[in-house]
């Protein structure tokens, strides 16, 4: 199982949002590079990053920060936030990003997802962010009339290499992940699924680790690390176990 420590960037700082709400964020002292270095020093080779400025503006606001992390730390990164064109995907691939996460743009335009998967084979991850069963888009400000499951069924043969399923009502809350809904997605998905949102303790990670036979590839851990609820060394030992 892969563990993806998370770094969300806004105004060049590490932040965590509560339930995807930009009006309810916690800002941390560490710079994104310092936080990435902390993860690398603990032995983690995969990071989950979100350009929150990009999610709001539809631009690659923090491209230089992400490029600096990749070049200096030689670490694998999946990145999302504001990626709404082929050119923006290419910009990330060109700096060495491992996976580009498509969310809003893919949900609004399934043909864009198909085209991206064809051009960048093995490099596209599909981000499904849901609240009360419905998919959210545009920086989590807009609720669609689609469920994650229905949307996934329609695009399942497009060739994305990973699905990241986030229950927005759990994200940043440390109230346990929505395993039931994630498993429903994993049963449908042609690609392996990453658990995201609500991780509160090392016990949550241990539960998820038992689910690898159900098409679960890994888990994203954010606020519980920042707040000290999960020890990085213990987390790495669990990933290696």
With a cut of 90, say whether residue 232 has pLDDT above it: yes
According to the model, what pLDDT value does residue 113 have?
Answer: 98
pLDDT score of 138 more than 90? no
Q: Which pLDDT score is estimated for 21?
A: 77
Query: What is the CATH number assigned to the segment(s) 2-240?
Result: 3.20.20.70
Q: Is the pLDDT of residue 110 over 90?
A: yes
pLDDT greater than 80 at residue 90: yes
**47-51, 116-120, 226-230: least confident range:** 226-230
Task: Return mean pLDDT, the chain.
Answer: 93
212 falls in which pLDDT band (50, 70, 90)? confident
Proportion of the chain above pLDDT 90, given as a percent: 79
Tell me: pLDDT of 207 over 90: yes
In whole angstroms, what is the distance from residue 162 CA to residue 14 CA? Answer: 25
Does the pLDDT value for residue 51 go beyond 90?
yes
For the chain, the structural domain boundaries read: 2-240
Q: How confident is the model at residue 179 (pLDDT cuts 50, 70, 90)?
A: very high
Average pLDDT over residues 203-226: 93
Task: Inform me whether the pLDDT recorded for 174 exceeds 80.
Answer: no
Q: What is the 3-state secondary structure (H, E, C) of the chain?
A: CEEEEEEEEECCEEEEEECCEEEEEEECCCCHHHHHHHHHHCCCCEEEEEEHHHHHHCCCCCHHHHHHHHHHHCCEEEEECCCCCHHHHHHHHHCCCCEEEECHHHHHCHHHHHHHHHHCCCCEEEEEEEECCEEEECCCCEEEEEEHHHHHHHHCCCCCCEEEEEECCCCCCCCCCCHHHHHHHHHHCCCCEEEECCCCCHHHHHHHHCCHHHCEEEEEECHHHHCCCCCHHHHHHHHHC
For residues 221 and 21, the model is more confident at 221
Q: Has residue 19 got a pLDDT over 80?
A: no
User: For residues 90 and 114, what is the distance between their CA atoms, to the nearest angstrom?
Assistant: 15
Share of the chain above pLDDT 70, in %: 99
Contacts of 87 (CB under 8 A, 6+ apart): none
Q: What pLDDT, on the 0 to 100 scale, is given for residue 29?
A: 87
Ranking 118-122, 143-147, 151-155 by mean pLDDT, the lowest is 143-147
What confidence score (pLDDT) does residue 170 get? 81
Q: What pLDDT does residue 139 have? A: 72
Give the active site residues: 8, 129
Confidence band, pLDDT 50/70/90 cuts, at residue 173: low
Q: Reply yes or no on whether the pLDDT at 96 is more than 70.
A: yes
CA angle 140/144/147 to nearest 5° reads 105
The pair of structure tokens assigned to 16 is 């965590």
């Amino acid at each position: 199982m892969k563990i993806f420590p998370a770094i969300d960037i806004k105004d060049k700082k590490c932040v965590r949002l509560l339930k995807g709400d930009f009006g309810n964020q916690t800002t941390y002292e560490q710079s994104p590079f310092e936080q990435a270095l902390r993860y690398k020093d603990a032995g983690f080779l995969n990071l989950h990053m979100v350009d929150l400025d990009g999610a709001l503006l539809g631009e690659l606001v923090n491209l230089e920060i992400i490029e600096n992390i990749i070049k200096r730390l030689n670490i694998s990164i999946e990145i999302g936030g504001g990626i709404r064109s082929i050119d923006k995907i290419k910009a990330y691939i060109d700096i060495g990003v491992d996976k580009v996460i498509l969310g809003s743009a893919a949900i609004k335009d399934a043909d864009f997802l198909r085209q991206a998967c064809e051009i960048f084979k093995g490099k596209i991850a599909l981000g499904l962010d849901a609240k009360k069963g419905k998919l959210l888009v545009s920086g989590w400000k807009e609720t669609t009339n689609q469920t994650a499951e229905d949307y996934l069924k329609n695009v399942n043969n497009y060739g994305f290499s990973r699905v990241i399923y986030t229950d927005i009502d759990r994200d940043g809350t440390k109230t346990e992940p929505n395993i039931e809904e994630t498993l429903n997605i994993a049963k449908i998905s042609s690609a392996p699924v990453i658990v995201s949102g609500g991780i509160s303790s090392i016990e949550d990670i241990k539960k998820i680790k038992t689910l690898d036979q159900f098409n679960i590839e890994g888990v994203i851990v954010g606020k519980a690390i920042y707040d000290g609820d999960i020890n990085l060394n213990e987390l790495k030992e669990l990933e290696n176990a």
